Copies of this chain bind each other. A is one copy, B any other.
Amino acid sequence: MSDPTELPGESASGGARRGRGGGGGGREARRALRTGGGIKQRRFIERKLSPFEILSEEGLAIIEQNADIILEEVGIEFRDDAEALQILKEAGCDVEGERVRFPRGFCRKIIRENAPATFTQHARNPERSVTIGGNATVFAPVYGPPFVRDLNGERRYATIEDFQNLVKLAYMSPALHHSGGTVCEPVDVPVNKRHLDMVYSHIRYSDKPFMGSVTAPERAEDSVALAKIVFGDDFVENNTVMINLINANSPMTFDGTMLGALKVYARHNQAVIVTPFILSGAMAPCTPAGVMAQTLAEAMAGIALAQLVRPGAPCVFGSFASSMSMQSGAPTFGTPEPAMVLYGCAALARRLGIPFRSGGSLCGSKLPDAQAAYESAATLQPTVLGGVNFVLHAAGWLEGGLVSSFEKLVMDADQLGMMQTFAEGPDLSENGQAMDAIREVGPGQHFLGCAHTQANFETAFYRSNVADNNSYEQWLAEGSLDAAQRTNNLVRKMLEEYEAPVLDPAVDEALNSFIAKAKESMPDAFA
């Protein structure tokens, strides 16, 4: 059994810490840092740069005031969840049918007084545990697509094998700090049993932190039960080992399924990301400032409920906002308006004092082509510069989230690596200033052979595993492949070289036994 007591980082969640608490140093730890293929995993990002701000203090105060007005005057609907309505009523909210109106300042006060500013999500490999919040940024892969574009270029429904392969690729990507959740929908597994295979795949094929199921309260309970087999009962109840995506049914509505999952996870001290999922112009106004206010209101309402369920439960303010095609009504990505929403909401989350989730490598393109890359970069840059803490869809997203792409996952992960290096900022040490080199070389000479270059060259520049920077002639000789074609080859090679992280056979057996029993108890369901 993996020992979650060897935790190198600080536990910010305030939970009890078992055991030795050592740093896990030495050869074993270094080995644990490497994945199959000898790739060195990178720790989550600790940004050294201040976030880019798009709104002044005054502008942010306007948005906050508007969110308060929405909560107080318009209200939020909590559907099909009498318990949630009861909790909110007892806390002093005005409940009228399923509509809940919040006293002015109610949500902000509860959140600020209870929700942690940062927390640790523990991984079964303690070297891979992540901090969520503050100046930390954690990249997780794509979430939710029912389709994959497979390695033969076919777009088809996803399977559990695709799921496992995506988990393996994320495991082997040094700048993906997290294994994610529904990296694709394995539609070959019955819908009521799928969550078991998904959670198991994350545990078995990766040792990075992962997400639980939210598609029904009992599936959330199953996710917690599986986590307890890995981490131990007490540890799970007093720490955070899963982070879970609770989407609002915008505008201004939560449905019973999401509320049920939210309550389960909050009660077990597992993190919830409360995310208004907004196609601007359809589920919110078509202006960035309108989307920001509505997003803040919805997120605060959901997070306030979580804090009432268990004060101090780790919560993340989520925002997902896309623009819309005027031609087709389809969501569009990489446009300037969602970037504005992202920067604005990131600042609002900082003011609220809790972690923020948004962004990723979003795109509408059908293929991992230039459109996909432009659009993904136009979301990823704001994600990092805006200071997003937890980044779902950081790699692998295609076609507006309908498709998970193996190539795109690996291409995006390369970009994530660049952003991670960027976020560390320039080195201003004496070596970084390099004045010795300039003095040594002087006018008209070159720096290739000087001592400073020789000493630093290996690590001086980010090395992409996707980009081709060879001569035109060599590129021709190698088949004139575009980035997607080259990455297809790379993905095949990675999957061949994949080595599973060690998992205690007893834990594996216990997981499989739990899953078999749970599956036996239900008939298959596919809808």
Contacts and interface: CB of A to CB of B under 8 A. Distances in A.
Interface of A: 49-50, 52-55, 59, 62, 66, 69-70, 73-77, 99, 155, 249, 251-253, 280-290, 292-294, 323-328, 330-332, 334-337, 339-340, 344, 364-378, 381, 385, 399-400, 402, 411, 415, 418-419, 421-422, 425-428, 431-435, 437-439, 441-448, 452-453, 456-458, 460-464, 466-472, 474-475, 480, 482-484
Nearest to A435: B66
A83 to B, nearest CB: 19
Nearest to A445: B251
Contacts of A441: 251
Contacts of A474: 328
Contact of A484 (B249, B369, B422): B369
A365 B483 contact: yes
B376 A418 contact: no
Contact of A365 (B287, B418, B467): B467
Contacts of A469: 325, 327-328, 330-332, 364, 400
A399 B99 contact: no
B283 A446 contact: yes
A364 B443 contact: no
Contact of A443 (B53, B76, B337, B442): B76
Nearest to A291: B434
Contacts of A480: 366
A447 B251 CA distance: 9
Contacts of A328: 469-471, 474
27 contacts: A52-B52, A52-B385, A59-B426, A75-B443, A76-B443, A281-B448, A281-B460, A285-B447, A286-B456, A289-B433, A290-B433, A293-B433, A294-B438, A324-B461, A327-B469, A328-B474, A337-B421, A337-B460, A340-B425, A364-B467, A364-B469, A369-B373, A373-B377, A375-B467, A378-B415, A385-B385, A400-B469
A368 B284 CA distance: 35
A106 to B, nearest CB: 17
A452 B285 contact: yes
Given A328-B470, A336-B422, 10 more contacts: A251-B447, A287-B427, A326-B458, A332-B469, A336-B421, A369-B483, A370-B373, A371-B467, A374-B374, A402-B472
Given A339-B422, A370-B368, A426-B55, A251 B442 contact: yes
Contacts of A70: 438
A43 to B, nearest CB: 17
Interface centre among A59, A376, A441, A480 (most CB of B within 10 A): A441
A52 B328 CA distance: 35
Nearest to A485: B369
Interface centre among A326, A418, A464, A467 (most CB of B within 10 A): A467
A287 B460 contact: yes
Nearest to A399: B472
Contacts of A373: 369-374, 377
Contacts of A433: 62, 66, 287, 289-290, 293
A284 B444 CA distance: 10
A288 B427 contact: yes
Contacts of A293: 433-435, 438
A365 B464 CA distance: 12
B425 A54 contact: yes
Interface centre among A50, A280, A287, A328 (most CB of B within 10 A): A287
A61 to B, nearest CB: 11
B419 A336 contact: yes
A505 to B, nearest CB: 41
B335 A442 contact: no
A467 B284 CA distance: 23
A281 B451 CA distance: 11
A149 B442 CA distance: 38
Given A377-B378, A467-B332, A155 B367 contact: no
A470 to B, nearest CB: 5
Contacts of A365: 467-468, 483
